[in-house]
Amino acid sequence: MGQGAGLLAPFAQSSSFFIGFPFTAIVVNIPQSLQAVYGYSPQKAGIALLPLLLLSPVATAVSGYLTSSRNIPPVYVILVGSVFQLIGVGLTCLLPILPIKGADDAHVPASQYGFEAIMGIGFGSTLSTILTLAPLVVDSTDLPVMMGALTQVRVLGGTISLAVCSTLLNNHVESRLPSLLDPSRVTEISESLSAIQNLPSEEQIAVRRIYAEGYNKQNILLTAFSGIAFISCLLLWERPPRRPTSTPAEVASKS
């Protein structure tokens, strides 16, 4: 059941791509959604992202300790992290579209911060740990190329996800706002989300709901790709698992 480096290397690259896919979009979308849906200022929206941003480096440090000091196979950490990522991103789809009755009483559900923490653990456990597979699947002469490839495909996945999510949101908003607002108002909102606060109360609620629906569509898309990331990480499974002390030659001799 062992896999040669010829298979594990592309599997590692595909895992890096799909793991990176939700991360960039989530980091950008959460603050934007808080501004559009709940009327947060940019500063307050950034602070609201702290559960994810603080837990992510903690998870990275713990993952590094497990793989380096405890000699835990990186694939174990990656699989656990991908599960946390899938659960955290998936739970965002359960957030209410707009739990308010008026334009002035919008509030972020407390559960969102818990979901961010789960995502932070997932991202922190996978984004860096995937790089530790490089010396286990290629020789030292090819290590710089493999490290660069894993990093670049991760960035590529994040860039593509951001473009896809932006297109999805824009298409949703642009197809609905013109029926509610004057073209000048639509232009103002497209230039700055803070312009939503200048609308009358009823229009604010309607516009915020439209944005909430658009961001929910993004969450559904990112959940699907998080599921693909988990499946891709499953392809890294092998017996015996490669440990940080293993070399490609040693693993090949056992396969």
The whole-number pLDDT of residue 5 equals 53
Structure tokens at 147: 């490290």
Among 21, 63, 1, smallest CA distance to 235 is for: 1
Among 43-57, 85-99, 163-177, 204-218, the range scoring the smallest mean pLDDT is 85-99
Cβ atoms of residues 146 and 10 within 8 Å: no
Q: Is the pLDDT of residue 63 over 60?
A: yes
pLDDT of residue 254: 47
Better pLDDT: 254 or 41: 41
pLDDT digits (tens, 9 = 90+) for 3-34: 445 678 899 999 999 999 999 999 999 999 99
pLDDT of residue 62 exceeding 70, the answer is: yes
User: CA 97 to CA 1: how far, in whole Å?
Assistant: 46
SS3 content of the chain, % helix, strand, coil (to 5): 80, 0, 20
User: Exposure string (b/e) for 67-98, b if CB count within 10 Å is 16 or more?
Assistant: beeeebbbbbbbbbbbbbbbbbbbbbeebeeb
- For 149-206, the pLDDT digits (tens) are 999 999 999 999 999 999 999 999 999 999 989 899 999 998 888 899 888 988 888 9
Segment 115-135, tens digit of pLDDT: 999 999 999 999 999 998 888
The reported pLDDT for the residue numbered 17 is: 95
Residue range 107-113: mean pLDDT, rounded:
88
In the block, residue with structure tokens 């609620």: 205
pLDDT for the residue numbered 255: 47
104 pLDDT more than 60:
no
Query: What are the residue boundaries of the structural domains of the chain, listed by start?
Result: 5-134+143-241
Q: Which of 37-41, 49-53, 162-166 has the lowest mean pLDDT?
A: 37-41
Cα–Cα distance list, 159 to 42, 100, 121, 136, 155 (Å)? 22, 33, 21, 27, 6
Give residue 48's pLDDT band: very low, low, confident or very high (50, 70, 90): very high
CA distance 215 to 83: 22
In this predicted structure, the answer to whether residue 94 has a pLDDT above a threshold of 80 is: yes
Q: Cα dihedral sign for 200, 205, 210, 216? A: positive
CATH of domain 5-134+143-241: 1.20.1250.20
Report the pLDDT averaged over residues 239-251: 64
Is the pTM above the cut of 0.85? yes
Whether the pLDDT of residue 41 is over 80: the answer is yes
Confidence of residue 107 (pLDDT cuts 50, 70, 90): confident
**CA-based nearest residue to 55, from 5, 124, 105:** 124
* pLDDT of 56 over the 60 cut: yes
C-alpha–C-alpha distance, residues 161 and 31, integer Å: 16
Say whether pLDDT at 105 is over 60.
no
- The pLDDT assigned to 2 comes to 39
Find the helix packing angle between 110-126 and 50-68, rounded to 10°.
Answer: 30
The tokens 């999805």 sit on which residue? 168
**Can you give the pLDDT at residue 4?**
47
Decide if 86 contacts 124 (C-beta within 8 A).
no
3-state secondary structure of 222: helix
